[in-house]
C-alpha cells in the first residue's frame, strides 16, 4: 500500500491547488482523478466557456464593424472551428496542470477514488493511505424531474460546449451565470434564444438594477425572456423539443431544436464512500468547520461539495486555507461575505457584498451611488456604453457594503472593491484615490462620488 501525507480526491481548481500548496509545504502528496486534470472548470466550465464567449464577442465586432468606421464586406462564423478552438484552450490548460503536478512532484493516480475508513482511498481496486484526505470532487449539472436530460435534445452545460452542429433555436431554462452566458453565446452565433426563469428577475442573485439592465440589453440583442415561468414538462418525441411553460397568464408551449437546462448544480458525492466512513452530509453538501475539517478526523472537504459559494476561486482559496491549517500555520477563516461573483455574458456582470435590497433589509442607513458607462469617455470611445457601476456605503461610518457592476470588462474591475472591502476602505478614501483617465475603472470613483453628492461627470 502506498502511503502519503496528503491525498486529494479530485483535481479541479480546489483539488489541484490543494495538492500544489501541500507539496510546497513539504507534504508527500497525491491527487486522484477519474477523468482530466483541472476538473470541470478547466475542461468543461470556466475556461472553455470563456473561449466560446470570446469567439462570440469577436463575431459581434465583425457584425458592427461599420460603427467603428470600418468596412468588412465578407465574414462568417465556422461553428465547428469555434468549438474546436474552445476545446484546444481547455486541453492546453489541462496540460498546464499536468506540468504543475510534475513540477511539484505530485503523484497523479488515475481512476475513481472511494473513501475507506482508517484514512484510506481505494482507486479501482488498489489501496492508498494518507494522514490527511481532502475531498474535492466538485459538482455537475442538476436535473429536474420535469426536465430530464437526454444529452441530445435536452442538454446540460457540458453538451452545450460541444454540439455537433449549431441549433437554429434554443430554450435556456435558468438564468444564472451558466444560463445567460450560453444564451449570449448562441444568440451571437445566430441561434434564436428564449430564456425561461422561474423567479421574477433574470440573474436573480444580483442587485435588481443589474438584473433590469441585463434584461434590457438581452432584449435589445433579440433574446426572448420569460420570467416567473416554469417548465412543467417536455416532449422530445418529434423532430425538435416542445416545452410546456407555466406562467401567471396560463400555459404556453414553446418549440425549439434544443433545451439547455441551466438550473443549478448537483454535488458529486455519490459512491465515494462518505457513508462508509461516516462523514456528515446535509442537503447535498459535506459539513465542515471553518478550516474544512469534516466530523471524521483526517478527512476534509473543499469546493462545490461544501456549503460555500460554488465558484472556482472559492474552491482555490479554501484549498490553500485547508492545507495551511493542516501544516499548523496561523490562518484566518475565509470571509464568504467578500467573495466576488462574475458572469461573462455581454455585458459582463461582477459584484461583491450586499445588494441595496439586502442592506435595507438589515436596517442599515446607506448611501448609494451609480455611474452609467454612457457618461464614461472610455466606454463611449470603445462603443460599450451599456451598463453602470453601483456602490453602497454605510452612511454613518463609510463602510463599503457592496459594489455591483454591469458592462464591458467589469469582471476585471471588481477586484478593486474586493480589496477595498478587505482593507476596510471608506467611501472617502476611494473618492480621494486618483483613478486613471480615460478608463472603465474610473467609473468606480465616479459612482462613489455620486454616493457622496460630489460626482463631476454626471
Could you tell me what percent of the chain has a pLDDT over 70? Answer: 100
Give residue-wise pLDDT tens across range 360-395: 999 999 999 999 999 999 999 999 999 999 999 999
Average pLDDT, the chain: 96
Give residue-wise pLDDT tens across range 157-175: 999 999 999 999 999 999 9
CATH number at 347-451: 3.30.390.30
Estimate to the nearest angstrom the gap between the alpha carbon of 336 and the chain centroid.
15
d(CA 447, CA 251): 43
Domain boundaries, the chain: 2-141+266-336, 154-263, 347-451
Whether 348 contacts 46, CB under 8 Å = no
Main-chain phi, psi angles of 72, to 5 degrees: -115, 105
Kindly tell me if the per-residue pLDDT of 1 is higher than 80.
no
Give residue-wise pLDDT tens across range 5-45: 999 999 999 999 999 999 999 999 999 999 889 888 888 88
Closest CA to 24 of 119, 100, 128, 133: 100
| Domain 154-263 matches domain 347-451 at the CATH topology level | no
In this structure, what C-alpha cell is assigned to residue 51?
A: 473561449
Whether 210 contacts 103, CB under 8 Å = no
Helix, strand, coil shares, percent, the chain, to 5:
35, 25, 40
CATH number at 2-141+266-336: 3.50.50.60
pLDDT at 120: 97
Global confidence as pTM:
0.94
Whether 198 contacts 228, CB under 8 Å = yes
Give residue-wise pLDDT tens across range 190-237: 999 999 999 999 999 999 999 999 999 999 999 999 999 999 999 999
Average pLDDT, integer, range 440-452: 97
CATH topology of domain 154-263: FAD/NAD(P)-binding domain (3.50.50)
Estimate to the nearest angstrom the gap between the alpha carbon of 186 and the chain centroid.
18
Estimate to the nearest angstrom the gap between the alpha carbon of 179 and the chain centroid.
11
Helix axes 177-189, 46-63, angle to 10 degrees: 40
Q: How many CA atoms does the CB half-sphere of 305 hold within 13 Å?
A: 29
Kindly tell me if the per-residue pLDDT of 434 is higher than 90.
yes
Whether 293 contacts 302, CB under 8 Å = no
Kind of pairing between the strands at 299-301 and 126-135: parallel
pLDDT at 458: 83
Write out the catalytic residue numbers.
Answer: 437
User: Residue written as cell 433574446?
Assistant: 223
d(CA 119, CA 21): 20
Amino acid at each position: 500500500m502506498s502511503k502519503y501525507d496528503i491525498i486529494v480526491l479530485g483535481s479541479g481548481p480546489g483539488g489541484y491547488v490543494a495538492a500544489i500548496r501541500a507539496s510546497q509545504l513539504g507534504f508527500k502528496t497525491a491527487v486522484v482523478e477519474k477523468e482530466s486534470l483541472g476538473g470541470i472548470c478547466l475542461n468543461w466550465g470556466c475556461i472553455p466557456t470563456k473561449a466560446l464567449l470570446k469567439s462570440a464577442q469577436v463575431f459581434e465586432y465583425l457584425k458592427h464593424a461599420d460603427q467603428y468606421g470600418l468596412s468588412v464586406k465578407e465574414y462568417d462564423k465556422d461553428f465547428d472551428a469555434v468549438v474546436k478552438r474552445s476545446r484546444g484552450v481547455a486541453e492546453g490548460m489541462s496540460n498546464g496542470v499536468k506540468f504543475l503536478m510534475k513540477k511539484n512532484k505530485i503523484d497523479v493516480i488515475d481512476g475513481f477514488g472511494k473513501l475507506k475508513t482508517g484514512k484510506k482511498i481505494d482507486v479501482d481496486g488498489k489501496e492508498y493511505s494518507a494522514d490527511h484526505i481532502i475531498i474535492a470532487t466538485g459538482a455537475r449539472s442538476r436535473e429536474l424531474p420535469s426536465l430530464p436530460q437526454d444529452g441530445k435534445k435536452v442538454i446540460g452545460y457540458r453538451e452545450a460546449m460541444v454540439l455537433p452542429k449549431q441549433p437554429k433555436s434554443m430554450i435556456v431554462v435558468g438564468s444564472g451565470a451558466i444560463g445567460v452566458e450560453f444564451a449570449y453565446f448562441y444568440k451571437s452565433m445566430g441561434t434564436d434564444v428564449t430564456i425561461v426563469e422561474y423567479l421574477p428577475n433574470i440573474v436573480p442573485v444580483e442587485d435588481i438594477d443589474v438584473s433590469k439592465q441585463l434584461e434590457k440589453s438581452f432584449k435589445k440583442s433579440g433574446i426572448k425572456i420569460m420570467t416567473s415561468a416554469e417548465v412543467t414538462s417536455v416532449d422530445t418525441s418529434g423532430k425538435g423539443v416542445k416545452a410546456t411553460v407555466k406562467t401567471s397568464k396560463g400555459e404556453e408551449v414553446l418549440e425549439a431544436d434544443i433545451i439547455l437546462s441551466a438550473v443549478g448544480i448537483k454535488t458529486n458525492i455519490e459512491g465515494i464512500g462518505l457513508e462508509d466512513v461516516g462523514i456528515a452530509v446535509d442537503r447535498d453538501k459535506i459539513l465542515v468547520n471553518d478550516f474544512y475539517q469534516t466530523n471524521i478526523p483526517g478527512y476534509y472537504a473543499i469546493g462545490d461539495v461544501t456549503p460555500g459559494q460554488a465558484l472556482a476561486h472559492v474552491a482555490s482559496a479554501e484549498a490553500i486555507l485547508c492545507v495551511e491549517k493542516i501544516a499548523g500555520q496561523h490562518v484566518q477563516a475565509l470571509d464568504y461575505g467578500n467573495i466576488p461573483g462574475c458572469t461573462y455574458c455581454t455585458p459582463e456582470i461582477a459584484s461583491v457584498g450586499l445588494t441595496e435590497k439586502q442592506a435595507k433589509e438589515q436596517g442599515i442607513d446607506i448611501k448609494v451611488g451609480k455611474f452609467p458607462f454612457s457618461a464614461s469617455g472610455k466606454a463611449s470611445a470603445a462603443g460599450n456604453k451599456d451598463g453602470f457601476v453601483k456602490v453602497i456605503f454605510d452612511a454613518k461610518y463609510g463602510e463599503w457594503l457592496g459594489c455591483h457592476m454591469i458592462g464591458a470588462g467589469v469582471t476585471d474591475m471588481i477586484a478593486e472593491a474586493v480589496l477595498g472591502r478587505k482593507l476596510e476602505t471608506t467611501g472617502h478614501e476611494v473618492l480621494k484615490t486618483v483613478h486613471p483617465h480615460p478608463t472603465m475603472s474610473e467609473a468606480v470613483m465616479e459612482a462613489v462620488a455620486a454616493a457622496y453628492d460630489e460626482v463631476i461627470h454626471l
